[in-house]
């Protein structure tokens, strides 16, 4: 089914910044609409956005250049192509861009088109998006399945500007729970934490990903807050629910050392891993994301040798959904799990291919949102399509997070039928 028209416009994301939304219409009238999210703690190895830098609009963050790229450059090339040939379409955009990091056309122009093409084609084929996407995976791929949700219910770092150096404090339902049970638990504990904060005179204002952002002191305090709040419920830590951290450590790594409020002095990678080791001993932590900075390979290898037995060692900024970075991480045995964010690499096919490589290397897969999301729910279908082990879509709060959880609920009921 051929592409008849491609248009684009500027919309807003959850941070009040512009985002590009693309609309793809096929000759049979099938339509796909998709938009590109934006990160706050953006790694150096991510695909690049093209912003307008016109300081008279949106503090320079306008995206009219990218909108223009979609309507005048990409559309010209893709109109008339068969929308079900996602590989050819994404390849064409990669060639049109011609750079290593999509910096000519911008990931904010390429990705919305790539996702909108997939949505339109799945509609034309009368397939749910997750089933349609699954067909592009390698032969050895496992069947679609619901991911376990990772609920980021306390926000810190660049997402809250409160006192925590770590960006995310996550609760993880036990994997034997059904998806609906996971949602039930996540929302229940979110509300229990809110009550606990209120009864202790702490703020219930939320950060970028919907998690609470109280002003405490150290990262240790964040974990003990979660522990105390959960202990007020009938959920059992270490049985029903576990903890995770996204340290987003690039943000507190300066001059080759780490700076956290839990320790007075500047920490080497080894000392940082000592700190994580003490946290693992005290709290039921299963998940450690970006605990070392994106170029600290020796630190990552040390973490894998000391911490990986009880926890996932997860690369987000380290890998940046980039196939070369992933191969480096695999060769160096730096991680045992990887975050996949389509806007870190820029096309649907490259994102799917990354999952195939990760799986072949035995890594767990986490499909993740960004802090600057729109209400686009593409990644919910993507997570099910690739049978992701985990979906990282924030707290069960704020419309742009809820859009993804609601889509996962809809898919769960489809899969049960
Ligand atoms: P970002 O953070 O979307 O603000 O970059 C998300 C993450 O680090 O996982
Ligand atoms: Zn992260």
The pLDDT score that the predictor gives to residue 276 is 98
d(CA 346, CA 338): 17
**Alpha carbon of 39 to ligand 1 centroid (Å):** 5
In 36-159 the beta strands, taken as DSSP E runs, fall at: 148-155
Q: Residue 176: pLDDT above 90?
A: no
Residue 392 Cα: closest atom of ligand 1: 9
The pLDDT score that the predictor gives to residue 216 is 94
The pLDDT score that the predictor gives to residue 358 is 98
Q: What percent of the chain has pLDDT over 90?
A: 96
Q: How confident is the model at residue 175 (pLDDT cuts 50, 70, 90)?
A: confident
pLDDT per residue as tens digits for the range 204-231 = 999 999 999 999 999 999 999 999 999 9
**Annotated catalytic residue within 49, 168, 209, 294:** 209
**Alpha carbon of 320 to ligand 2 centroid (Å):** 9
d(CA 316, CA 292): 10
Q: How confident is the model at residue 140 (pLDDT cuts 50, 70, 90)?
A: confident
Q: Residue 55: pLDDT above 90?
A: yes
The pLDDT score that the predictor gives to residue 296 is 98
How much is the pTM? 0.98
The pLDDT score that the predictor gives to residue 8 is 98
Q: Which residues surround ligand 2, an ion (CB under 5 A)?
A: 246, 290, 316
The two structure tokens encoding residue 353: 């291919």
The pLDDT score that the predictor gives to residue 138 is 83
Q: Residue 247: pLDDT above 90?
A: yes
In 81-178 the beta strands, taken as DSSP E runs, fall at: 148-155, 168-173
Q: What percent of the chain has pLDDT over 70?
A: 100
Question: Taking all residues of the chain, what is their mean pLDDT, rounded to a whole number?
Answer: 97
Q: Residue 137: pLDDT above 90?
A: yes
Q: Which residue from 40, 211, 319, 372 has its CB within 8 A of the most atoms of ligand 1, so it is best to mutate? A: 40
Q: What is the mean pLDDT of residues 277-288?
A: 98
Q: What is the mean pLDDT of residues 288-306?
A: 98
d(CA 329, CA 253): 20
Q: What is the mean pLDDT of residues 167-190?
A: 96
The pLDDT score that the predictor gives to residue 152 is 98
d(CA 400, CA 394): 9
β-bridge partners, 314 = 289, 337
The two structure tokens encoding residue 409: 């609920």
The label of the residue with tokens 């507190």 reads 252
The pLDDT score that the predictor gives to residue 38 is 97
The pLDDT score that the predictor gives to residue 142 is 86
Q: How confident is the model at residue 146 (pLDDT cuts 50, 70, 90)?
A: very high
Q: What is the mean pLDDT of residues 280-294?
A: 98
Q: Nearest 5°: phi and psi at 107? A: -60, -30
The pLDDT score that the predictor gives to residue 230 is 98
Note if 180 is an active site residue.
no
Q: How confident is the model at residue 378 (pLDDT cuts 50, 70, 90)?
A: very high
Q: Residue 163: pLDDT above 90?
A: no
Exposure of 53 by Cβ count < 10 A (0-12 exposed, 13-18 middle, 19+ buried)? Answer: exposed
């Amino acid at each position: 089914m051929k592409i008849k028209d491609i248009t684009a416009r500027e919309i807003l994301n959850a941070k009040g910044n512009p985002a590009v939304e693309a609309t793809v219409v096929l000759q049979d009238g099938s339509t796909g609409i998709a938009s590109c999210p934006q990160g706050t703690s953006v790694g150096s190895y991510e695909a690049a956005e093209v912003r307008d830098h016109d300081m008279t609009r949106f503090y320079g963050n306008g995206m009219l250049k990218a909108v223009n790229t979609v309507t005048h450059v990409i559309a010209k090339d893709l109109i008339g192509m068969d929308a079900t040939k996602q590989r050819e379409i994404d390849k064409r955009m990669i060639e049109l861009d011609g750079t290593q990091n999509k910096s000519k056309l911008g990931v904010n122009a390429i990705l919305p088109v790539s996702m909108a093409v997939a949505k339109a084609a799945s509609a034309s084929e009368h397939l749910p998006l997750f089933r349609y996407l699954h067909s592009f995976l390698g032969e050895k791929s496992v069947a679609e399945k619901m991911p376990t949700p990772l609920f980021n219910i306390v926000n810190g770092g660049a997402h809250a500007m409160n006192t925590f150096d770590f960006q995310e404090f996550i609760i993880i339902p036990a994997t034997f729970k059904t998806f609906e049970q996971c949602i039930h638990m996540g929302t229940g504990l979110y509300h229990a934490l809110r009550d606990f904060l209120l009864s202790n005179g702490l703020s219930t204002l939320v950060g970028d990903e919907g998690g609470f952002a109280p002003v405490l002191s150290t990262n240790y305090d964040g974990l003990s807050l979660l522990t105390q709040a959960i202990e007020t419920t009938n959920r059992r830590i270490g049985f029903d629910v576990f903890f995770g951290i996204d340290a987003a450590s690039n943000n507190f790594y300066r001059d080759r050392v780490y700076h956290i409020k839990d320790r007075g002095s500047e920490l080497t990678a080894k000392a940082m891993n000592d700190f994580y080791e003490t946290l693992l001993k005290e709290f039921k932590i299963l998940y450690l994301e970006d605990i070392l900075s994106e170029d600290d390979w020796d630190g990552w290898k040390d973490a894998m040798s000391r911490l990986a037995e009880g926890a996932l060692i997860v690369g987000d900024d380290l890998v940046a959904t980039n196939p070369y970075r992933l191969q480096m991480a695999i060769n160096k045995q730096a991680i045992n799990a990887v975050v996949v964010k389509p806007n870190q690499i820029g096309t649907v096919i490259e994102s799917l291919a990354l999952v195939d490589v990760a799986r072949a290397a035995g890594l767990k897969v986490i499909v993740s949102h960004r802090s600057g999301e729109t209400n686009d729910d593409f990644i919910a279908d993507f997570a099910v399509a690739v049978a992701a082990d985990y979906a990282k879509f924030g707290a069960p709060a704020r419309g742009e997070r809820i859009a993804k959880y609601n889509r996962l609920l809809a898919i769960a009921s489809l899969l049960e039928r």
